[in-house]
């Protein structure tokens, strides 16, 4: 079987599909990842073949903010909706068609924000499966994207899909039911999968990390998207944590020099990237932006969170984890060093948050591993599990 995996060029969008793609390759299937130039080195580092299609994220975002659809509202999801539907999809579709002519896919697997991919599948008359990156996208966001991408469907001689093509044949869901019990239009086609945690358990960590353990360890991240993880945003967070009797581990993203946040006290350790699979078992609390990848990774290890959402899908993610009892939420307008220190201290001393996180950890552990999810995917589409390329 030949599977074309189409993803937008963002770490948080690509990382969730890596275990699934590797599991398909392990069964002998041919995988090709189509994405923008900026992500291709990351795809190849994950051991997957890549083909170039679509614009880089910074270029697409810069174009999106000039369009009238962006200035027509203030919803946190609006810039993404405009970027994915009005900029990325029309730019990517011609290149994706060219890739498909040479690759001849039997199945297309795509991110929920990669809107060219389901349209291409409809053109080719093949199935498309959406892999989830977190909670289901908000209904208003999907409605807007479906409206803005509809002209592409019309130009292909197809009736526009009500959900922008997201729920055509399959939805691979990485979110435990305690955080998302209602899958709405995805319910009938949903297939669960254990959420991905970046890295491997045996990855090497810096020397200082191996000496942790004498006091609580707090991991801090604002993700990898530049609009959310600007160096200045770390200021009040680290000021609030500096005086705690705890070790603080901060990752900034591969595009940010640790020197950008200035000198830090001895209990604060700063890096661009660390393997979360290796690091999180050493941690007692996580402070992050409620990005789905970091949040689900923490809960996979039973770690309570202090969540400070900034935009995109972070607000509903934060609300869901708070409702489940595993997080405190600190809105952007209430971020002060004192509030940060208080929030993290309550996580470290309060059993209720850790108990709730442990319950979710047990739930996640019962979700299908990638290999089992591949079995379900192949069974769903009556495909040979041993098919060679």
Asked if residue 389 is part of any domain, the answer here is no
Considering the domain architecture, whether residues 62 and 108 belong to the same structural domain is answered as yes
pLDDT value for 210? 80
Q: Tokens 């990669």 label which residue?
A: 114
pLDDT value for 387? 41
Residue 282's domain spans which residues? 207-365
Considering the domain architecture, whether residues 32 and 159 belong to the same structural domain is answered as yes
pLDDT value for 235? 87
Asked if residue 351 is part of any domain, the answer here is yes
> Total domain count for the chain?
2
pLDDT value for 63? 96
Considering the domain architecture, whether residues 356 and 242 belong to the same structural domain is answered as yes
Considering the domain architecture, whether residues 313 and 360 belong to the same structural domain is answered as yes
Q: Any idea what the CATH number is for the domain that residue 42 is in? A: 3.40.50.2000
Considering the domain architecture, whether residues 72 and 123 belong to the same structural domain is answered as yes
Asked if residue 227 is part of any domain, the answer here is yes
pLDDT value for 383? 58
Asked if residue 200 is part of any domain, the answer here is no
Considering the domain architecture, whether residues 158 and 69 belong to the same structural domain is answered as yes
Asked if residue 202 is part of any domain, the answer here is no
Asked if residue 385 is part of any domain, the answer here is no
Q: Tokens 């011609």 label which residue?
A: 94
Asked if residue 277 is part of any domain, the answer here is yes
Please choose, from the candidates 357, 335, 209, 318, the residue with its C-alpha nearest in 3D space to the C-alpha of residue 273.
209
Asked if residue 201 is part of any domain, the answer here is no
pLDDT value for 389? 33
Considering the domain architecture, whether residues 220 and 185 belong to the same structural domain is answered as no
pLDDT digits (tens, 9 = 90+) for 195-248: 999 888 888 899 888 888 789 999 999 887 766 778 788 888 998 999 899 999
Spans in the chain with pLDDT lower than 50? 384-389
Considering the domain architecture, whether residues 233 and 357 belong to the same structural domain is answered as yes
Considering the domain architecture, whether residues 62 and 165 belong to the same structural domain is answered as yes
Considering the domain architecture, whether residues 267 and 321 belong to the same structural domain is answered as yes
Q: Is the pTM of this model over 0.85?
A: yes
What HEC string does the chain produce? CEEEEECCCCHHHHHHHHHHHHHHHHCCCEEEEEECHHHHHHHHHCCCCEEECCCCHHHHHHHHCCCHHHHCCCCCCHHHHHHHHHHHHHHHHHHHHHHHHHHCCCEEEECCCCCHHHHHHHHHCCEEEEECCCCCCCHHHHHHHHHHHHHHHHHCCCCCCCCCCCCCCEEEECCCCCCCCCCHHHHHHEEECCCCCCCCCCCCCCHHHHCCCCCCEEEEECCCCCCCCCHHHHHHHHHHHCCCCCEEEEECCCCCCHHHHCCCCCCEEEECCCCHHHHHHHCCEEEECCCHHHHHHHHHCCCCEEECCCCCCHHHHHHHHHHCCCEEECCHHHCCHHHHHHHHHHHHHCHHHHHHHHHHHHHHHCCCCHHHHHHHHHHHCCCCCCCCC
Considering the domain architecture, whether residues 250 and 177 belong to the same structural domain is answered as no
Considering the domain architecture, whether residues 142 and 231 belong to the same structural domain is answered as no
């Amino acid at each position: 079987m030949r599977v074309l995996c189409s993803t937008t060029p963002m770490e948080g969008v690509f990382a969730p599909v890596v275990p699934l793609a590797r599991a398909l390759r392990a069964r002998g299937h041919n995988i090709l990842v189509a994405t923008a130039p900026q992500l291709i080195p990351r795809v190849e580092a994950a051991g997957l073949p890549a083909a170039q299609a679509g614009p880089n994220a910074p270029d697409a975002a810069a174009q999106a903010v000039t369009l009238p659809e962006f200035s027509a509202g203030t919803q946190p999801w609006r810039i993404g909706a405009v970027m994915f539907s009005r900029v990325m999809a029309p730019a990517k579709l011609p290149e994706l068609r060219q890739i498909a002519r040479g690759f001849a896919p039997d199945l297309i697997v795509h991110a929920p924000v990669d809107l060219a991919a389901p349209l291409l599948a409809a053109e080719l008359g093949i199935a498309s499966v959406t892999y989830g990156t977190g909670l289901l996208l908000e209904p208003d966001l999907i409605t807007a994207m479906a409206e803005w991408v509809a002209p592409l469907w019309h130009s292909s001689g197809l009736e526009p899909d009500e959900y922008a093509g997201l729920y055509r044949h399959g939805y691979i869901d990485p979110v435990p039911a305690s955080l998302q019990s209602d899958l709405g239009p995805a319910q009938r086609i949903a297939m669960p999968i254990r959420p991905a945690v970046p890295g491997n358990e045996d990855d090497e960590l810096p020397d200082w990390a191996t000496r942790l353990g004498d006091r609580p360890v707090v991991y801090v991240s604002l993700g990898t998207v530049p609009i959310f993880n600007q160096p200045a945003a770390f200021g009040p967070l680290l000021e609030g944590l500096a005086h705690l009797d705890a070790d603080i581990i901060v990752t900034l993203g591969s595009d940010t020099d640790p020197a950008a946040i200035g000198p830090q006290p001895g209990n604060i350790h700063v890096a661009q990237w660390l393997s979360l699979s290796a690091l999180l078992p050493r941690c007692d609390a996580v402070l992050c932006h409620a990005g789905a990848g970091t949040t689900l990774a923490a809960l996979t290890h039973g770690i309570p969170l202090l969540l400070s959402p900034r935009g995109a899908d972070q607000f509903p993610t934060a609300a869901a984890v708070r409702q489940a009892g595993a997080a405190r939420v600190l809105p952007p307008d209430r971020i002060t060093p004192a509030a940060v220190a208080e929030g993290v201290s309550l996580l470290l001393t309060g059993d209720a948050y850790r108990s709730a996180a442990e319950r979710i950890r047990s739930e996640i552990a019962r979700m299908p591993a990638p290999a089992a999810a591949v079995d379900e995917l192949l069974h769903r589409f009556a495909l040979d599990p041993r098919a060679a390329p």
